[in-house]
Amino acid sequence: MDFGLVLQTDPPASQVVSLMKRAERNGFRYGWTFDSAVLWQEPFVIYSQILANTQKLHVGPMVTNPGTRTWEVTASTFATLNDMYGNRTVCGIGRGDSAMRVAGRAPNTLARLGEAIEVIRDLAEGREALVDGNPIRIPWIREGKLPVWMAAYGPKALALAGQKADGFILQLADLYLTEWMIKAVRQAAVEAGRDPDAITICVAAPAYVGDDLAHARDQCRWFGGMVGNHVADLVSRYGEHSSMVPDELTEYVKSRQGYDYSHHGRAGNPSADFVPDEIVDRFCLLGPAEAHIEKLRALRDLGVDQFALYNMHDAREATIDAYGSEVIPSLR
């Protein structure tokens, strides 16, 4: 199992780079960041510094979207980083939540997302693609490589990930839901004539190592609020108790009362007060290192290839170090 570190690009950028260097020293192979231009600093500028200050770490957004950047710019940016530092980038992409909504736009449609996945990958790898009906090829790219991993929750999005993406990003660590969603992605891949085992499975969730569970839950409760934005969309689309979406995912958002993106992804987010302890425990990894190892082994048995650790809480360095000394060696 591979491990990734997920950060917000809060200033100072030097701290983001420092934490990524620390992660690489502790055995993490991927460095991910949020991508929301209004809420945080520009991640692609910071990726250049992360790549320059690490040796093998792969970097990318968790996640970008096809609406806030034109597709040829996205592809060229990834290709430039790859040309400078070797093929060490990965494009995590989704419909767009905070990046689109904060700017007053609705998330992208799945049809637009599916088209963007293919266009961005083709352009970044030096092939011609149609952009707004016009054939475009970036002529200077040589031996470019850009895996595109798609974030998804709902049945149509899961199907799209199986049909077109190189990897699937699931932003929660509940064992039942992970199994259900991996099966949906792989089934869609089979139906599309693809090898289901060729799709990389990445589970992303907060992790907090320590014995004080009450404190750990409070530090990670924000995650249930963040996931709840996507779940609320699913409920509005499919209704409550739909056969298309498990109740284990949708039940907890009944008491959700709006969402303030100024606290998005942060410990103490007041918009996450509706998230019960049970959801925090199911969606996150909490407790002593042994508890993390046990849950990660169960995730690995379900087919998870990478665990990406959201590290937005008050024990960032300690969690990275605990994973490096105790957790990662047990899963490799």
pLDDT of residue 29: 98
Q: What is the rounded average pLDDT of the residues 184-203?
A: 98
pLDDT of residue 246: 84
Interval 27-83: pLDDT, tens: 999 999 999 988 999 999 999 999 999 999 999 999 999 999 999 999 999 999 999
% of the chain exceeding 70 in pLDDT? 100
pLDDT of residue 28: 98
pLDDT of residue 229: 76
Residues 286, 280 contacting (CB under 8 angstroms): yes
pLDDT at residue 201 greater than cutoff 90: yes
Q: What is the rounded average pLDDT of the residues 13-29?
A: 98
Q: What are phi and psi of 145, to 5 degrees?
A: -145, 125
Ranking 26-30, 84-88, 222-226 by mean pLDDT, the lowest is 222-226
CA geometry: angle 113, 60, 18, nearest 5 deg: 155
Interval 137-189: pLDDT, tens: 999 999 999 999 999 999 999 999 999 999 999 999 999 999 999 999 999 99
pLDDT band at 264 (very low <50, low <70, confident <90, very high): confident
pLDDT of residue 30: 99
The DSSP annotation for 171-237 comes to: S---HHHHHHHHHHHHHHHHHTT--GGGSEEEEEEEEEESS-HHHHHHHHTHHHHHHHHHHHHHHHH
Q: Please tell me the distance from the alpha carbon of residue 254 to that of residue 12, in angstroms, as a whole number.
A: 37
Interval 271-299: pLDDT, tens: 788 899 999 999 999 999 999 999 999 99
pLDDT of residue 269: 81
- pLDDT: which is higher, 104 or 120: 120
The amino acid present at 217, given as its one-letter code, is R
C-alpha of 41 from chain center = 18
pLDDT at residue 86 greater than cutoff 90: yes
DSSP letter, residue 106? P
3-state secondary structure of 52: helix
pLDDT at residue 123 greater than cutoff 90: yes
Q: Please tell me the distance from the alpha carbon of residue 271 to that of residue 257, in angstroms, as a whole number.
A: 8
